[in-house]
Structure 1
Amino acid sequence: MSKFRRAVLLTVPALALGLAGAAIALPAHAQPDHDDGGSRHLTAAEKLTLEHADVDPDAPLQFGTDPLADVKAAAESTAGSASCQIGADDATALSIAMTWPETSPSGEPPSPMTLSRYDTQPSLGDPEGRAAGLWFHPGIGMWQLDSAGLGTDFTAGEAMDAKNAADRMVPFIVGKYCDAVNSGSAPADARASAWSDWVACNEGACEDVYNRVLNEGVTPVDGVGQYGGGEQRDCDFGGQAMACLFVDPAKAQGANWWADPAGGRSPVAAPFYVYRVGDGDNVSEVRYWLAADSGASTDVQATRPFGSDARGGLTWAAGAGLCDKTAHRGGC
């Protein structure tokens, strides 16, 4: 559950990449109920994340073959231009150490499709209760990019994209590490600083995984795609053609405990489409459920303006008709 806020505009499937100036902001969701030993309290969802952060020490650390290649490419590029001395292997380990504690404590390959399961605020569900699967998961992907912070200017599709996420996360994490080292921190303290945006790292789980990655290595696993099972589609909405991603949790690749209704606290979203609308400073993420997928009597859409937290920034409405031109589904 990451908490870093930054403005960035990306598109699916041809994502514009880059790293801009950053500012840290804490998520404004739920009520604090547990002290993390630092300067603030943890929310209920963050507490659950921390309680499930320990990775099975006897299980091999697995990672999707293609997503791992994306991380390694980003790490090699970043290490070559870093402001402190760091090798590509160290940059890789530093950048993926939190993905298992955050999304796959079993050691299985973290799924790029991962949907957060610990937030239960009613505001994340359809206020009209048209179907149980009309649920907006705020944290997305291997790095759990959350609409309250790090993922605030990403659609779910953009956050699931393993290459895009790696190109964003690796420079960010290595940059924080180098800032700490250049300020006089010891390497272990600098790593803790680099991971400070992930609650699962608060009690040493990421340091343990980091050392395992370097000492034991990572086992590449085939069958985990760029979107973790999400499918790129060509869609039409209101006569406007757009790229969209179809997300069906039942087709998740990699660790999929979160796709089991009993695997977390929140409902699991019914299959949905996700795309962005608008441009410039007026961009929003739209998640769209066909009635045939959700079981509701009508299509339903939820819209979140970029820069807003889904826990208080969603607008729900009956869908006006989406056509999936690739699969010939919906209002075609």
Structure 2
Amino acid sequence: MTRQIPRPLLCLLITAATAAMTTLPAAPSPDAAAVGSAGVDHTFADTASPEESAEDLKLANAWVPADQELRFGAKPLEFAREAAAAEAADADCNISAQAATALLIAMTWPEVSPSGAAPSPMTLSRYDTQPTLADPQNRAPGLWFHPGIGMWQLDSAGLGTNFTAAEAMDTKGAANRLAPYVVHRYCTAINRGDTRKEARAYAWTAWVACRQGACENTFQRALNGVTPVDGIGRYGGAKPRRCWYQGAAHDCFYVDPANAQGASWWAAPGGGRSPVAAPFYVIRLDGSATVELRYWLAADSGASTDVQARRPFGANARTGLTWARGPGLCDLTAQRGAC
């Protein structure tokens, strides 16, 4: 029996397919990003002209060189395989678990790691330069709200609109969300008469880096095997914590780009056109409306005060942020902040 995607999720997925899911983290040129023995990119310099658009950069740098093997974090690969196999088993078209896995991960290299290095679950978009993403009071250069997060670049303008940054970095949760999305779109195309190649392109429509065939290339290569890389965890270096905020304890995550696991070219100061955020905390605030909170301690950002930014679920960060002085946050796990 075919397992149905829950109607609210299916509606969101179909709607989001026409939105800008991927936020153009603007991966480096493969020639400029050498791959180390652990499959981690070295830093690189952005040499693109100011006139070159983020989409142009994405498409120009999407192709993984033929002489580079495809690497992927061992733990994230385990989650991707589990999610893909579950969807393949109940799909309403014929697709193997192996093909569903390749379909699910093929876009990650063109999107965030075209050197072939293991994509980082922590990846922060670096080519969104809208002024509204910065602290309007300019209290510190690292007070920057990256709208696209993770190896799949879940963006607040699309599929990531109801995810916090921490949830988008969670490779298990992201794989469980995206597997039904890509398999459903693939089967929709197959069942209307598309070829398998056409159906794969339809499944990847939301990813800019896939528009000229780079993801078909990585798909075919992934079918022949991916090299697992140890040392890349479920959250890619983000740390689960407990935080005290406004009179209550919350699950929270501490995100420090310096601790990124996997391809970390984007964490370098020259790794993109936008600033890179100073270390920040992420909390999901549930209530009458769900809100993503990103919180910077003064000790982390260098500002004279704590600073916070709030984004309601469903809002695009480019137009929907509210910045304010932070009321105080205590990291109960690490005993830092206003404890």
Provide TM-score, normalisation by structure 1: 0.88
Structure number with the higher strand fraction is 1
Aligned partner letter, 1:143: W
Equivalent residue number for residue 318 of structure 2: 311
Partner of 2:239: 231
Deviation digits for residues 188-235 of structure 1, max 9, x if unmatched? 0000000000000001000000011113x1000000001000000000
Residues 28 and 328 of structure 1: CA distance in aligned 2, closer, same or farther (over 3 Å): closer
Q: Cα offset for 1:68?
A: 0.1
Q: Quick one: distance in 2 between partners of 1:195 and 1:238? A: 41
Residue of structure 1 equivalent to 2:79: 70
Shift in Å, 1:28: 11
2:230 aligned partner: 222
User: Could you say which residue in structure 2 is the equivalent of 1:331?
Assistant: 338
Does the alignment pair 1:155 with 2:148?
Answer: no
AA partner of residue 84 (structure 2): A
Q: Aligned partners of 1:66, 1:29: CA distance in 2, in Å?
A: 23
Does residue 322 of the first structure (1) align with residue 315 of the second (2)?
no
Q: Is the 8 A contact 1:303 1:314 kept in 2?
A: yes
- Structure-1 residue corresponding to 2:95: 86
Secondary structure at 1:105's aligned position in 2? coil
1:250-270 C-alpha deviation (Å, 9 max, x unpaired):
000000000001011110000
* Matched residue, 1:34: none
**Equivalent of 1:195 in 187, 194, 204:** 204
Q: 1:26 aligns with which of 11, 19, 22?
A: 19
2:223 alignment partner, SS class: helix
* Partner Cα separation in structure 1 for residue 295 and residue 64 of structure 2: 34
Instruction: Quote the Cα distance in structure 1 between the aligned partners of 2:83 and 2:193.
Output: 26
Percent identity of the aligned residues? 61
CA contact (8 A) 2:21 2:206 kept: no
Q: Are residue 168 (structure 1) and residue 161 (structure 2) matched?
A: no
Q: 2:143 aligns with which of 114, 118, 134?
A: 134
Pick one of 230, 247, 253 that aligns with 2:261.
253
- Whole-angstrom distance in 2 between the partners of 1:189 and 1:195: 10
Deviations 1:67-87 (A, max 9, x none): 000000011111100010000
TM-score by length of 2: 0.86
Closer, same or farther: CA 62–28 of 1 in aligned 2, 3 Å: closer
- Give the residue type in structure 2 aligned to 1:150: L
Answering whether residue 87 of structure 2 is matched by residue 61 of structure 1, we say no
- Tell me which residue corresponds to 2:28: none
Q: Tell me the secondary structure at the aligned position of residue 243 of structure 1.
A: strand
Residue 103 (structure 1) aligns with: 112
CA distance in 2, matches of 1:291, 1:245: 17
Runs of 4+ in 1 over 4 A off after TM superposition: none
What is the CA-CA distance between 1:180 and the residue it aligns to?
Answer: 0.2
What residue number does 2:291 align with? 284
SS state at 2:310 partner? strand
Q: Deviations over 1:158-213 (max 9, x none)?
A: 00000000001111101100000001000000000000000000010000000111
Gaps of 5+ in 1: 1-5, 9-18, 31-42
